[in-house]
Amino acid sequence: MKKLALILFILLNCANIFAQKLERIEPMFWFTGMHNPKLQLLVHGDNIAASTISLSYPGVKLVKVNKVENPNYLFIDLELSASVKAGKFPINFSAGGKKIFTYTYELRTRDKSAGRIQGVTQKDFIYLLMPDRFSNGDKSNDVVQGLAETTLNRDSMYYRHGGDIQGVINHLDYLKDLGITTVWMTPEVENDMAQASYHGYAVTDHYKIDPRYGTNELYKKYVETAHAKGMKVIKDIVHNHVGTNHWFYKDLPMKSWLNQWPKFTQTSYRDQTVMDIHASAADRKKMLDGWFVSSMPDLNQRNPYVQNYLTQNHIWWIEYAGIDGLRLDTYGYNDPVYMADWALKVQAEFPHLSVFGETLVTAVPNQAFFTGGNTVNRGFDTHLQGITDATLKDAIYEGINGKNGWVDGINRLYATLAHDFLYKNPNTNCIFLDNHDMSRFYSMVGEDFDKYKMGMSILLTMRGIPEMYYGTEILMKNFSNPDGLIRSDFPGGWEGDRKDKFITDGRTNKENDAFNFVKTLANYRKNSPALQTGQLMQFVPQDDIYVYFRYNAEPKGTVMVIVNNTEKDKTLNTDRFAERTKGITMAKNVITGENQPFKEIKVPAKTTLVLELN
């Protein structure tokens, strides 16, 4: 009987050994010369925890092999010396004293060539686009068999339309001509969900570009092509959640990988609970740990394995592709302590990288609370450089559409900017008029072309980093409700489109007027030190006229902006602005190129004048 039991034990042990199967190691390769010598490899495979790990490579130390709740995972801690050389080495997986398989791991040399990871600043003008809706440059990847969604239907706002990275590459010259310096795409990583994941915010593989957009290699080429044209790239990343079809959601490493609840609990979306000194712990937990929606599981960023996984993934993409900046989705929903640590680790590797977080909130203090430098209020520094300035966006709308009053109309814009003292550096905020989650600007101003020009003039002369949503330059319109038409295709981005708005002949006269207006101001901005690096000085609105200046220590090239949001023409006497205009007798209209006397300035109704003072 004992002999039979021994035979059964040996057979079961052998079965256990041969049942092991390696499915993936992430990151799949790494880089030498990183600031942080530590590297944690996530290893996934059937019963992989039964393996013994060994490796031998000069400068690489195997520190620890971590087993977790799920035997299909191992987390391997490595330490790389400062002198480690690029190269390949085997990671051996053994069981019962026998080697089962080997993974050849690669260390690559960091790319320190000029022009990579430049950062995004006030000198730039960002163009936000959704790759699925911008241009189809490669029809061969429109439908990829084996993915959860294989329907291509441009007649529906909720199916894939076929746009891709090659389509963006094909139109970089169009963007450069328009005056764009930086391209921001909604997330390009794989979103293998059943439907309506074209937006990119339900990631299912952190290390893989969605095959309907292209490949990792094509994404790298896109960044390099943009750089070769003198343009920059922002990558949109999501810390907070993943899609329910993510490979690790289907086989969680451990229960604490996610924020778990007895039953489905959605976030309250109440950012105030994070900063409210009177808030209950339960309300704060619901905000931070509740799921964004049922199809987007909430990651537990207090888990050190989750922390390492996310941070290393972002560092990997930046180094691999040479990205210039990051936009952080749903910033306020993330664990604050982890995000501060994340910022420090990323900035240590890439000191010139620019980062701004999405904060769609309703007040300046709420936005400023999340930014770096507010240690008195938070007790620690978030090290977040800037935010998406939603309150300034709301103030611009009020300034254009509202009726002037003590705190309304154009006075709202003045008052909002007066709160800039709450930021360590308001110039690093990303300013905008609309995006992929809200009604389009042209519709929000009632398709009034005068108001459109007013808003675009403010956007391109205000402090901060301006961002424009794709199609705004050709007066694309629609409201966020119903039917998601704010995410319509850019006309001409698909073979066979009836109209091609990428070219002059394909646009209407008014669309060309809009395009040329943006182009003139954006390209002027490229060569204006005042708009690129200048300080902001604003004057209290009087007689419904709002005036602000952008200027440097050197007075040459000071820009004066005059906003008349009323239905009446106005005449502005400039004596009041002497501290910025001493000695000025003439001003040049940036849009028309005409020079005009400076003493008395005629400001037409519903107009923003942009004047260069010399």
Q: Kindly report the three-state secondary structure assignment for every residue of 405-439.
A: CCCCCHHHHHHHHHHHHHCCCHHHCEEECCCCCCC
Q: Specify the domain boundaries for CATH 2.60.40.1180 within the chain.
A: 535-613
Instruction: For helices 390-401 and 449-459, give the axis angle rounded to 10 degrees.
Output: 140
Q: Rounded CA gap, 162 and 141, in Å?
A: 8
Give 540-555 pLDDT, tens digit per residue.
Answer: 999 999 999 999 987 6
Residue 8 has pLDDT above 90, yes or no: no
557 confidence band (pLDDT: 50, 70, 90): confident
Residue 3 has pLDDT above 90, yes or no: no
Cβ–Cβ contacts within 10 Å for residue 591, how many? 17
Q: Rounded CA gap, 204 and 376, in Å?
A: 38
**Is residue 317 within 8 Å of 222, Cβ to Cβ?**
no
Residue 4 has pLDDT above 60, yes or no: no
- HSE-up of residue 152 (Cα within 13 Å, Cβ side): 14
Give 242-279 pLDDT, tens digit per residue.
Answer: 999 999 999 999 999 999 999 999 999 999 999 999 99
Residue 10 has pLDDT above 50, yes or no: no
Q: Rounded CA gap, 138 and 128, in Å?
A: 21
Residue 147 has pLDDT above 90, yes or no: yes
Query: In Å, what is the CA distance from 200 to each residue of 194, 243, 592?
Result: 13, 10, 41
**Is residue 435 within 8 Å of 428, Cβ to Cβ?**
no
Q: Please compute the mean of the pLDDT values over residues 298-307 and round it to a whole number.
A: 98
Cβ–Cβ contacts within 10 Å for residue 475, how many? 21
428 confidence band (pLDDT: 50, 70, 90): very high
Q: Rounded CA gap, 486 and 237, in Å?
A: 21
Q: Please compute the mean of the pLDDT values over residues 80-96 and round it to a whole number.
A: 97
Residue 484 has pLDDT above 90, yes or no: no
Give 354-397 pLDDT, tens digit per residue.
Answer: 999 999 999 999 999 999 998 888 889 999 999 999 999 999 99
**Is residue 41 within 8 Å of 82, Cβ to Cβ?**
no
pLDDT of residue 377: 80
Q: Please compute the mean of the pLDDT values over residues 421-425 and round it to a whole number.
A: 96
Residue 314 has pLDDT above 90, yes or no: yes
Give 321-342 pLDDT, tens digit per residue.
Answer: 999 999 999 999 999 999 999 9
Spatial CA neighbour of 134 closest among 166, 177, 105: 166
User: Is residue 22 helix, strand or coil?
Assistant: strand
Query: In Å, what is the CA distance from 569 to each residue of 397, 452, 544, 597, 605?
Result: 20, 18, 11, 17, 4
pLDDT of residue 99: 93
Give 499-548 pLDDT, tens digit per residue.
Answer: 999 999 999 999 999 999 999 999 999 999 999 999 999 999 999 999 99
What CATH architecture applies to the domain 2-108?
Sandwich (2.60)
pLDDT of residue 19: 59
Residue 485 has pLDDT above 80, yes or no: yes
Q: At a CB cut-off of 8 Å and minimum separation 6, what does 186 contact? A: 128, 129, 130, 131, 199, 200, 201, 236, 436
Residue 556 has pLDDT above 90, yes or no: no
**Catalytic (active-site) positions:** 329, 358
Q: Specify the domain boundaries for CATH 2.60.40.10 within the chain.
A: 2-108
Annotation: CATH topology of 126-265+293-531: TIM Barrel (3.20.20)
pLDDT of residue 378: 87
- Cα angle value 312/314/320 (rounded, 5°): 95
225 confidence band (pLDDT: 50, 70, 90): very high
Q: Any long-range contacts for 522-526 (C-beta under 8 Å, 24+ apart)?
A: 522/125, 522/178, 522/179, 522/180, 522/460, 523/179, 524/590, 525/125, 525/179, 525/460, 525/461, 526/123, 526/125, 526/179, 526/181
* pTM for this prediction: 0.96
**Is residue 194 within 8 Å of 148, Cβ to Cβ?**
yes
Mean pLDDT, the chain, rounded, equals: 95
14 confidence band (pLDDT: 50, 70, 90): very low
Give 175-219 pLDDT, tens digit per residue.
Answer: 999 999 999 999 999 999 998 899 999 999 999 999 999 999 999
pLDDT of residue 20: 80
- HSE-up of residue 282 (Cα within 13 Å, Cβ side): 1
Size of the chain in residues: 614
Q: Rounded CA gap, 355 and 334, in Å?
A: 15
Spatial CA neighbour of 331 closest among 364, 352, 300, 356: 356
Residue 237 has pLDDT above 70, yes or no: yes
Q: Please compute the mean of the pLDDT values over residues 87-99 and round it to a whole number.
A: 96
**Is residue 14 within 8 Å of 37, Cβ to Cβ?**
no
* % of the chain at pLDDT higher than 90: 93
pLDDT of residue 555: 65
pLDDT of residue 241: 98
Q: Residue 539: enclosing H or E segment and its boundaries?
A: strand 535-542
Q: Rounded CA gap, 381 and 369, in Å?
A: 10
Instruction: For helices 216-228 and 304-321, give the axis angle rounded to 10 degrees.
Output: 50
User: Is residue 148 helix, strand or coil?
Assistant: coil
Counting Cβ atoms within 10 Å, is residue 180 exposed (0-12), middle (13-18) or buried (19+)? Answer: buried
Return the CATH number of the domain spanning residue range 535-613.
2.60.40.1180
Q: Rounded CA gap, 323 and 462, in Å?
A: 25
Q: Rounded CA gap, 16 and 50, in Å?
A: 8
Q: Specify the domain boundaries for CATH 3.20.20.80 within the chain.
A: 126-265+293-531
